[in-house]
Structure 1
Amino acid sequence: MKKSAIGAAVLLTGLVVFISAAYAVGDNYQPVKQTPDTETAYVTHLNGNQLTTDAIQWYEGQDADRIFLEREPDSGLDAAPDGYYIVNDDESIRTINVDPNAQVLMQIYDKSGNPEDLDVAWNESISFKEFADALSKTDVLDLKSFPYHLTIENGVVTKIVQQYVP
Protein backbone atom coordinates (compact mmCIF):
# COMPACT_ATOMS: atom_id res chain seq x y z
CA MET A 1 0.00 0.00 0.00
CA LYS A 2 2.80 2.39 0.93
CA LYS A 3 4.64 1.72 -2.37
CA SER A 4 1.53 2.36 -4.46
CA ALA A 5 0.83 5.62 -2.58
CA ILE A 6 4.39 6.78 -3.16
CA GLY A 7 4.19 5.72 -6.82
CA ALA A 8 0.92 7.63 -7.25
CA ALA A 9 2.44 10.72 -5.63
CA VAL A 10 5.48 10.58 -7.92
CA LEU A 11 3.27 10.10 -10.98
CA LEU A 12 1.01 12.99 -9.96
CA THR A 13 4.00 15.25 -9.36
CA GLY A 14 5.40 14.32 -12.75
CA LEU A 15 2.12 15.08 -14.47
CA VAL A 16 1.78 18.45 -12.74
CA VAL A 17 5.33 19.40 -13.74
CA PHE A 18 4.80 18.20 -17.30
CA ILE A 19 1.51 20.07 -17.65
CA SER A 20 3.08 23.18 -16.14
CA ALA A 21 5.92 22.93 -18.63
CA ALA A 22 3.40 22.66 -21.47
CA TYR A 23 1.79 25.94 -20.46
CA ALA A 24 5.17 27.60 -19.96
CA VAL A 25 6.26 27.00 -23.55
CA GLY A 26 5.59 30.54 -24.72
CA ASP A 27 6.46 31.91 -28.12
CA ASN A 28 9.87 30.26 -28.47
CA TYR A 29 8.59 27.23 -30.38
CA GLN A 30 9.76 26.95 -33.97
CA PRO A 31 8.49 24.13 -36.22
CA VAL A 32 11.16 21.78 -37.54
CA LYS A 33 11.86 22.55 -41.18
CA GLN A 34 10.91 19.54 -43.28
CA THR A 35 13.25 18.67 -46.15
CA PRO A 36 13.35 15.74 -48.58
CA ASP A 37 15.87 14.13 -46.19
CA THR A 38 13.53 14.45 -43.17
CA GLU A 39 11.33 11.64 -41.86
CA THR A 40 9.14 11.99 -38.79
CA ALA A 41 8.73 8.87 -36.68
CA TYR A 42 8.26 7.36 -33.27
CA VAL A 43 11.34 5.58 -31.95
CA THR A 44 10.31 2.11 -30.85
CA HIS A 45 13.72 0.66 -30.00
CA LEU A 46 17.41 1.50 -29.95
CA ASN A 47 20.11 -1.15 -30.05
CA GLY A 48 23.63 0.24 -30.31
CA ASN A 49 23.54 2.53 -33.31
CA GLN A 50 20.44 0.92 -34.83
CA LEU A 51 17.21 2.84 -34.40
CA THR A 52 13.88 1.10 -34.95
CA THR A 53 11.16 3.54 -35.99
CA ASP A 54 7.50 3.79 -36.94
CA ALA A 55 7.13 6.55 -39.54
CA ILE A 56 4.26 9.02 -39.17
CA GLN A 57 2.93 12.08 -40.95
CA TRP A 58 3.25 15.16 -38.72
CA TYR A 59 1.04 18.18 -39.42
CA GLU A 60 1.03 21.60 -37.72
CA GLY A 61 -1.05 24.76 -37.95
CA GLN A 62 -3.44 25.09 -40.89
CA ASP A 63 -2.25 21.80 -42.40
CA ALA A 64 -3.07 20.04 -39.12
CA ASP A 65 -6.51 21.66 -39.02
CA ARG A 66 -7.27 20.67 -42.63
CA ILE A 67 -6.20 17.03 -42.23
CA PHE A 68 -7.88 16.76 -38.82
CA LEU A 69 -11.21 18.02 -40.19
CA GLU A 70 -10.97 15.68 -43.20
CA ARG A 71 -10.25 12.64 -41.03
CA GLU A 72 -12.32 13.50 -37.94
CA PRO A 73 -15.44 15.25 -39.33
CA ASP A 74 -17.64 14.17 -36.41
CA SER A 75 -15.27 15.32 -33.65
CA GLY A 76 -17.27 18.43 -32.81
CA LEU A 77 -14.05 20.47 -32.99
CA ASP A 78 -13.22 23.22 -35.47
CA ALA A 79 -9.47 22.62 -35.46
CA ALA A 80 -6.79 20.13 -34.49
CA PRO A 81 -6.31 20.01 -30.70
CA ASP A 82 -3.09 21.72 -29.59
CA GLY A 83 -2.32 22.80 -33.16
CA TYR A 84 -0.91 19.51 -34.43
CA TYR A 85 -2.20 16.25 -35.90
CA ILE A 86 -0.47 12.90 -36.39
CA VAL A 87 -1.40 10.35 -39.04
CA ASN A 88 -0.05 6.82 -38.76
CA ASP A 89 -1.82 4.79 -41.43
CA ASP A 90 1.09 2.38 -41.82
CA GLU A 91 2.38 1.04 -38.51
CA SER A 92 5.19 -0.99 -40.04
CA ILE A 93 8.57 -0.49 -38.45
CA ARG A 94 12.04 -0.26 -39.89
CA THR A 95 15.54 -0.30 -38.51
CA ILE A 96 18.06 2.28 -39.63
CA ASN A 97 21.65 3.02 -38.67
CA VAL A 98 22.51 6.19 -36.77
CA ASP A 99 25.79 8.02 -37.16
CA PRO A 100 27.38 7.88 -33.68
CA ASN A 101 28.16 11.59 -34.13
CA ALA A 102 24.59 12.46 -35.13
CA GLN A 103 23.33 15.80 -33.92
CA VAL A 104 20.59 15.29 -31.30
CA LEU A 105 18.30 18.16 -30.27
CA MET A 106 15.92 17.61 -27.37
CA GLN A 107 13.05 19.70 -26.03
CA ILE A 108 12.39 17.84 -22.76
CA TYR A 109 13.92 14.74 -21.18
CA ASP A 110 14.80 13.20 -17.82
CA LYS A 111 18.13 14.67 -16.77
CA SER A 112 18.09 13.78 -13.07
CA GLY A 113 15.48 11.12 -12.29
CA ASN A 114 13.44 13.77 -10.46
CA PRO A 115 10.08 14.75 -12.05
CA GLU A 116 10.40 18.24 -10.57
CA ASP A 117 13.47 18.86 -12.74
CA LEU A 118 11.57 18.34 -16.02
CA ASP A 119 11.66 21.52 -18.03
CA VAL A 120 11.39 22.50 -21.68
CA ALA A 121 14.72 23.64 -23.10
CA TRP A 122 14.30 24.27 -26.81
CA ASN A 123 16.70 22.34 -29.04
CA GLU A 124 19.10 21.35 -26.28
CA SER A 125 22.03 19.62 -27.92
CA ILE A 126 23.05 16.29 -26.41
CA SER A 127 25.28 13.47 -27.64
CA PHE A 128 23.86 10.35 -29.23
CA LYS A 129 25.07 8.39 -26.19
CA GLU A 130 23.15 10.75 -23.87
CA PHE A 131 20.10 10.26 -26.09
CA ALA A 132 20.46 6.48 -25.87
CA ASP A 133 20.76 6.67 -22.08
CA ALA A 134 17.74 8.99 -21.77
CA LEU A 135 15.67 6.80 -24.11
CA SER A 136 16.22 3.81 -21.83
CA LYS A 137 14.82 5.67 -18.79
CA THR A 138 11.05 5.49 -18.51
CA ASP A 139 10.38 6.14 -14.81
CA VAL A 140 9.91 9.91 -15.12
CA LEU A 141 9.28 10.49 -18.83
CA ASP A 142 9.05 7.93 -21.63
CA LEU A 143 10.83 9.46 -24.63
CA LYS A 144 9.30 6.85 -26.92
CA SER A 145 5.99 8.72 -26.61
CA PHE A 146 7.39 11.69 -28.55
CA PRO A 147 7.77 11.95 -32.33
CA TYR A 148 11.24 12.65 -33.73
CA HIS A 149 12.26 14.39 -36.94
CA LEU A 150 15.09 12.34 -38.42
CA THR A 151 17.46 13.63 -41.07
CA ILE A 152 18.60 10.67 -43.15
CA GLU A 153 21.57 11.03 -45.48
CA ASN A 154 22.81 8.11 -47.57
CA GLY A 155 20.65 5.74 -45.51
CA VAL A 156 22.07 6.89 -42.15
CA VAL A 157 20.43 9.11 -39.52
CA THR A 158 22.61 12.21 -39.09
CA LYS A 159 20.23 14.36 -37.03
CA ILE A 160 17.51 13.62 -34.47
CA VAL A 161 15.14 16.38 -33.32
CA GLN A 162 12.60 15.59 -30.63
CA GLN A 163 9.17 17.05 -31.40
CA TYR A 164 7.65 18.66 -28.33
CA VAL A 165 3.99 17.84 -27.79
CA PRO A 166 1.99 19.50 -25.02
Structure 2
Amino acid sequence: MKKTLLTISLLSVIFMGSFTYGNLNYEASTVLAKPTNPEVQTENKDITDTTKETIYITNINNIDGQLEIQADDIEWFEGKAADEALVKNEPNAGIDYAPDGYYIVNDDPSTYELKVAPDAEILVQIYDRTGQPEDIDINWNEKISLEKFIALYNQKDNLDMSQFPYHVTVQDGEVIQIVQQYIP
Protein backbone atom coordinates (compact mmCIF):
# COMPACT_ATOMS: atom_id res chain seq x y z
CA MET A 1 0.00 0.00 0.00
CA LYS A 2 2.87 2.37 0.86
CA LYS A 3 4.43 1.62 -2.53
CA THR A 4 1.14 2.44 -4.27
CA LEU A 5 0.77 5.72 -2.35
CA LEU A 6 4.37 6.67 -3.13
CA THR A 7 3.83 5.86 -6.80
CA ILE A 8 0.62 7.92 -6.85
CA SER A 9 2.37 10.85 -5.14
CA LEU A 10 5.31 10.80 -7.54
CA LEU A 11 3.11 10.48 -10.59
CA SER A 12 0.87 13.32 -9.40
CA VAL A 13 3.89 15.63 -9.22
CA ILE A 14 4.87 14.70 -12.77
CA PHE A 15 1.26 14.93 -13.91
CA MET A 16 0.68 18.39 -12.51
CA GLY A 17 3.44 19.84 -14.76
CA SER A 18 1.27 19.30 -17.79
CA PHE A 19 -1.36 16.91 -19.02
CA THR A 20 -2.96 15.98 -22.28
CA TYR A 21 -6.69 16.25 -22.71
CA GLY A 22 -7.96 15.15 -26.10
CA ASN A 23 -5.76 16.75 -28.72
CA LEU A 24 -5.06 19.79 -26.55
CA ASN A 25 -2.06 20.18 -24.28
CA TYR A 26 -2.83 22.21 -21.16
CA GLU A 27 0.20 23.64 -19.41
CA ALA A 28 0.22 23.99 -15.64
CA SER A 29 -0.90 27.62 -15.71
CA THR A 30 -3.97 26.92 -17.83
CA VAL A 31 -7.48 27.25 -16.44
CA LEU A 32 -10.15 24.84 -17.57
CA ALA A 33 -12.92 27.32 -17.00
CA LYS A 34 -16.60 26.99 -16.35
CA PRO A 35 -18.76 27.17 -19.47
CA THR A 36 -19.71 30.69 -20.49
CA ASN A 37 -23.42 30.00 -20.03
CA PRO A 38 -24.12 31.78 -16.72
CA GLU A 39 -27.46 30.08 -16.13
CA VAL A 40 -27.35 26.65 -14.52
CA GLN A 41 -30.58 24.91 -15.33
CA THR A 42 -32.23 21.99 -13.64
CA GLU A 43 -33.37 20.67 -17.00
CA ASN A 44 -31.36 19.47 -19.99
CA LYS A 45 -29.01 22.14 -21.28
CA ASP A 46 -29.64 23.08 -24.89
CA ILE A 47 -26.15 22.66 -26.30
CA THR A 48 -25.96 22.46 -30.06
CA ASP A 49 -22.26 23.10 -30.66
CA THR A 50 -19.34 21.12 -29.34
CA THR A 51 -18.35 22.34 -25.90
CA LYS A 52 -16.05 21.14 -23.14
CA GLU A 53 -17.19 21.40 -19.55
CA THR A 54 -15.58 20.50 -16.25
CA ILE A 55 -18.05 18.96 -13.85
CA TYR A 56 -18.69 16.69 -10.95
CA ILE A 57 -21.03 13.85 -11.85
CA THR A 58 -23.52 13.69 -9.00
CA ASN A 59 -25.68 10.86 -10.38
CA ILE A 60 -26.13 8.58 -13.36
CA ASN A 61 -29.66 7.69 -14.48
CA ASN A 62 -31.11 5.49 -17.19
CA ILE A 63 -34.39 7.10 -18.21
CA ASP A 64 -36.36 5.05 -20.73
CA GLY A 65 -33.14 3.70 -22.27
CA GLN A 66 -31.43 7.14 -22.41
CA LEU A 67 -28.43 7.48 -20.12
CA GLU A 68 -28.18 10.84 -18.37
CA ILE A 69 -25.65 12.24 -15.96
CA GLN A 70 -26.47 14.79 -13.31
CA ALA A 71 -23.78 17.47 -13.77
CA ASP A 72 -22.49 20.11 -11.35
CA ASP A 73 -20.31 22.73 -13.12
CA ILE A 74 -16.99 23.51 -11.47
CA GLU A 75 -13.98 25.66 -12.23
CA TRP A 76 -10.69 23.73 -12.39
CA PHE A 77 -7.44 25.66 -11.88
CA GLU A 78 -3.84 24.43 -12.07
CA GLY A 79 -0.42 25.85 -11.25
CA LYS A 80 -0.17 29.61 -10.81
CA ALA A 81 -3.87 30.04 -11.65
CA ALA A 82 -4.70 27.59 -8.81
CA ASP A 83 -2.58 29.63 -6.39
CA GLU A 84 -4.33 32.84 -7.43
CA ALA A 85 -7.79 31.27 -7.14
CA LEU A 86 -7.01 29.92 -3.67
CA VAL A 87 -5.80 33.32 -2.43
CA LYS A 88 -8.85 35.04 -3.94
CA ASN A 89 -11.40 32.54 -2.59
CA GLU A 90 -9.75 31.75 0.74
CA PRO A 91 -7.80 34.85 1.78
CA ASN A 92 -7.57 33.68 5.40
CA ALA A 93 -6.25 30.20 4.59
CA GLY A 94 -2.78 31.09 5.83
CA ILE A 95 -1.11 29.89 2.63
CA ASP A 96 -0.65 31.49 -0.76
CA TYR A 97 -0.34 28.38 -2.91
CA ALA A 98 -2.49 25.38 -3.81
CA PRO A 99 -0.80 22.52 -1.93
CA ASP A 100 -1.50 19.88 -4.57
CA GLY A 101 -1.06 22.18 -7.57
CA TYR A 102 -4.77 22.42 -8.36
CA TYR A 103 -7.79 24.24 -6.98
CA ILE A 104 -11.51 23.68 -7.57
CA VAL A 105 -14.20 26.34 -7.27
CA ASN A 106 -17.79 25.16 -6.98
CA ASP A 107 -19.75 28.30 -6.10
CA ASP A 108 -23.04 26.98 -7.42
CA PRO A 109 -23.93 23.41 -6.41
CA SER A 110 -27.05 23.27 -8.62
CA THR A 111 -27.11 20.49 -11.17
CA TYR A 112 -28.49 19.81 -14.61
CA GLU A 113 -28.95 16.75 -16.81
CA LEU A 114 -26.74 15.84 -19.74
CA LYS A 115 -27.65 13.03 -22.11
CA VAL A 116 -24.83 10.57 -22.78
CA ALA A 117 -24.30 9.14 -26.24
CA PRO A 118 -24.40 5.31 -26.24
CA ASP A 119 -20.95 5.26 -27.86
CA ALA A 120 -19.39 7.92 -25.61
CA GLU A 121 -15.65 7.52 -25.08
CA ILE A 122 -14.70 7.09 -21.40
CA LEU A 123 -11.10 7.74 -20.29
CA VAL A 124 -10.12 7.19 -16.67
CA GLN A 125 -6.89 7.64 -14.75
CA ILE A 126 -7.48 5.56 -11.64
CA TYR A 127 -10.17 3.10 -10.57
CA ASP A 128 -10.80 -0.08 -8.60
CA ARG A 129 -9.88 -2.84 -11.05
CA THR A 130 -9.88 -5.86 -8.71
CA GLY A 131 -11.72 -4.98 -5.50
CA GLN A 132 -8.39 -4.97 -3.63
CA PRO A 133 -7.32 -1.51 -2.39
CA GLU A 134 -3.64 -2.32 -2.89
CA ASP A 135 -4.28 -2.89 -6.62
CA ILE A 136 -5.68 0.59 -7.22
CA ASP A 137 -3.13 2.32 -9.42
CA ILE A 138 -2.88 5.01 -12.07
CA ASN A 139 -3.08 4.13 -15.75
CA TRP A 140 -3.32 7.39 -17.70
CA ASN A 141 -6.29 7.81 -20.04
CA GLU A 142 -7.33 4.17 -19.93
CA LYS A 143 -10.31 3.62 -22.18
CA ILE A 144 -13.19 1.71 -20.59
CA SER A 145 -16.72 0.96 -21.74
CA LEU A 146 -19.67 3.08 -20.71
CA GLU A 147 -21.13 0.04 -18.94
CA LYS A 148 -17.91 -0.41 -16.93
CA PHE A 149 -17.94 3.29 -16.00
CA ILE A 150 -21.53 3.04 -14.72
CA ALA A 151 -20.63 -0.04 -12.65
CA LEU A 152 -17.54 1.71 -11.22
CA TYR A 153 -19.52 4.86 -10.46
CA ASN A 154 -22.08 2.85 -8.50
CA GLN A 155 -19.40 0.90 -6.61
CA LYS A 156 -18.23 2.89 -3.57
CA ASP A 157 -16.26 0.25 -1.64
CA ASN A 158 -12.62 1.21 -2.28
CA LEU A 159 -12.67 4.25 -4.54
CA ASP A 160 -15.64 6.59 -5.00
CA MET A 161 -15.67 7.76 -8.63
CA SER A 162 -18.13 10.57 -7.76
CA GLN A 163 -15.31 12.36 -5.92
CA PHE A 164 -13.36 13.08 -9.10
CA PRO A 165 -13.88 15.98 -11.49
CA TYR A 166 -14.60 15.08 -15.10
CA HIS A 167 -13.93 16.93 -18.34
CA VAL A 168 -16.84 16.21 -20.68
CA THR A 169 -17.20 16.96 -24.34
CA VAL A 170 -20.77 17.72 -25.36
CA GLN A 171 -21.78 17.69 -29.02
CA ASP A 172 -25.29 18.42 -30.25
CA GLY A 173 -26.69 18.05 -26.74
CA GLU A 174 -25.05 14.70 -25.92
CA VAL A 175 -21.91 13.83 -24.00
CA ILE A 176 -19.54 12.15 -26.43
CA GLN A 177 -16.49 11.95 -24.16
CA ILE A 178 -15.91 11.74 -20.39
CA VAL A 179 -12.36 12.16 -19.08
CA GLN A 180 -11.70 11.55 -15.39
CA GLN A 181 -9.42 14.20 -13.86
CA TYR A 182 -6.91 12.59 -11.52
CA ILE A 183 -6.54 14.39 -8.20
CA PRO A 184 -3.80 13.52 -5.71
Q: Into which bin does the TM-score normalised by the smaller protein fall?
A: 0.7 to 0.9
Displacement over 6 Å in runs of 4+:
none
Contact 1:40/1:58 (<8 A) preserved: yes
Distance 1:18 1:58, change over 3 A: farther
Give the match for residue 57 of structure 2: 43
Alpha-carbon distance in 2 for matches of 1:62, 1:112 = 37
1:20 lines up with 2:6 in the alignment: yes
Residue 51 and residue 18 in structure 1: after superposition, are their counterparts in 2 closer, same or farther (change >3 A)? farther
Following superposition of structure 1 onto structure 2, how do residues 57-72 of structure 1 map, counting pairs within 5 Å?
Answer: 57-72=75-90
Alpha-carbon RMSD: 2.0
Q: Give the unaligned 5+ runs of structure 1.
A: 1-12
CA apart distance, 1:74: 1.6
Task: Give the structure with the higher percent strand.
Answer: 2
CA contact (8 A) 1:110 1:141 kept: yes
Secondary structure of 1:64's aligned partner: helix
Deviation at 1:20, TM superposition (A): 3.2
Partner of 1:3: none
* Deviations 1:51-94, CA, capped at 9 Å, x for gaps: 11111111111111111111112211121120111001110011
Q: Which has the higher helix share?
A: 1
Aligned pairs for 1:61-100 within 5 A: 61-100=79-118
TM-superposition CA deviations, 1:113-153 (whole Å, max 9, x none)? 11111000010011111111111110010000000001111
- Asked if the contact 1:106/1:124 (under 8 Å) is kept, the reply is yes
Whole-angstrom distance in 2 between the partners of 1:18 and 1:94: 36
Gaps of 5+ in 2: 25-31, 34-49
Which residue type is aligned with residue 148 of structure 1? Y
Aligned counterpart in structure 2 of residue 116 of structure 1, from 120, 123, 134: 134
| 1:52 partner SS | strand
Matched-pair identity in %: 41
- Taking structure 1 as the reference length, the TM-score comes to 0.84
Equivalences, count: 152
